[in-house]
């Protein structure tokens, strides 16, 4: 079905799905595509998209997670709920080599930050990384990661920093320290919005649930000392969860709303198999029985948050001429 639509002020003609959703534009042959097709998620390859007269939103994902293909699929799934046409590009940092993802995959679907830093993007997502116990300055790629953070300030309309990246971003930009926790914050927790009037929370219920999987936290008192930082969601059990800065150009999110239903299950059973100390994820399995299928409480909030971010903080704020993005 062909429809003529205005996209970023430009009248265009593009093919859309029968359900009226615009496709996510992904690298041709990306492994996640086959899995997402089974979930009726509409995607389009770079080659086909380049033939259309449309300016899609450009979204970069700096994937720092060890299991990169799984993380790609999680974020693509959650981004697919937007009615906007989005071109997703995967970024890596030159100073780190992934040990858990085939080199061929990285070469085919990722570009080094060094190659991308002269370009501008409407949105950026920086994922978490299992580095809670390491001082930031001791992270092998810390220097290059700081360069990415600084680049995002002037080359990206809005950025989401997830879990460890949220802690790292708060430390880099605002000097907010992280603290290791006695026990891992692990499970699905209830959260409260502290600024429910913000567009990022449009459509949310009075409380929402989100998975956490981390060994560190930030303290409210440290954030409240910093002008321009606003805690907009927290949890009695999991602490500070979402911090906003620069009128929505930065969101620091300590939870994992992108997680699939079985991610916490996989992490729990992985650590058990390695005889690592790990508690049962809280509020996750029915009756705390790890043989049961987990209860998913966070899907609606996850879809809403990322859709609201794309719509209100990326699409409605980014200039039509992407080169006009400024600090």
Instruction: Provide the 3-class DSSP secondary structure of residue 325.
Output: coil
Name the residue among 53, 57, 142, 133 with its Cα closest to residue 93.
142
Active site residue 258: yes
Contact at 8 Å (CB) between 30 and 41?
no
Is the alpha carbon torsion for 214, 219, 224, 227 positive or negative?
negative
How many C-alpha atoms does 221 have within 13 Å on its Cβ side? 1
Closest CA to 257 of 241, 280, 271: 241
8-state DSSP, 206: S
Residue 146 CA to residue 322 CA, distance in Å, equals 23
| Pairwise CA distance, residues 177 & 170, whole Å | 8
Per the annotation, the verdict on 256 as an active-site residue is: yes
216 is catalytic: no
How, if at all, do strands 250-253 and 239-245 pair? antiparallel
Marked catalytic residue, from 72, 89, 217, 258: 258
CB–CB of 186/282 below 8 Å? yes
Marked catalytic residue, from 8, 89, 163, 191 = 163
Bridge partners (DSSP) of residue 58 are 87
What stretch of H or E contains 76?
Answer: helix 68-79
Give Dmax over CA atoms of the chain in angstroms. Answer: 59
Place of tokens 């046409």: 85
Q: Which positions are annotated as active-site residues? A: 163, 256, 258
């Amino acid at each position: 079905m062909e429809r003529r639509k205005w996209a970023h002020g430009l009248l265009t003609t593009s093919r859309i799905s029968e359900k009226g959703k615009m496709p996510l534009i992904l690298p041709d042959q990306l492994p996640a595509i086959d899995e997402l097709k089974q979930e009726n998620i509409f995607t389009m390859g770079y080659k086909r998209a380049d033939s259309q007269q449309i300016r899609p939103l450009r979204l970069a994902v700096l994937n720092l997670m060890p299991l990169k293909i799984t993380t790609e699929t999680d974020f693509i799934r959650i981004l697919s709920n937007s009615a906007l046409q989005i071109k997703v590009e995967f970024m890596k940092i030159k100073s780190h080599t992934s040990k858990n993802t085939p080199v061929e995959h990285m070469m085919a679907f990722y570009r080094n930050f060094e190659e991308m830093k002269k370009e501008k993007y409407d949105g950026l997502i920086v994922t978490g990384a299992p580095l809670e116990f390491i001082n930031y300055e001791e992270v092998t790629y810390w220097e290059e990661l700081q360069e990415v953070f600084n680049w995002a300030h002037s080359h990206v309309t809005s950025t989401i920093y997830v879990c460890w990246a949220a802690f790292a971003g708060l430390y880099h930009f605002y000097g907010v320290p992280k603290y290791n926790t006695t026990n891992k914050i692990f499970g699905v927790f209830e959260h409260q919005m502290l600024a429910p009037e913000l567009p990022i929370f449009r459509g949310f219920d009075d409380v929402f649930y989100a998975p956490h999987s981390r060994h560190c936290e930030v303290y409210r008192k440290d954030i409240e000392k910093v002008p321009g930082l606003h805690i907009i969601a927290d949890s009695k059990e999991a602490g500070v969860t979402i911090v906003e800065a620069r009128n929505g150009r930065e969101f620091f999110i300590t939870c994992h709303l992108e997680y699939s239903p079985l991610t916490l299950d996989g992490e729990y059973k992985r650590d058990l198999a390695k005889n690592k100390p790990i508690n049962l994820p809280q509020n996750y399995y029915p009756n705390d029985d790890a043989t049961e299928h987990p209860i998913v409480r966070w899907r609606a909030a996850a879809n809403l948050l990322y859709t609201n971010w794309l719509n209100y903080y990326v699409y409605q704020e980014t200039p039509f001429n992407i080169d006009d993005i400024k600090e």
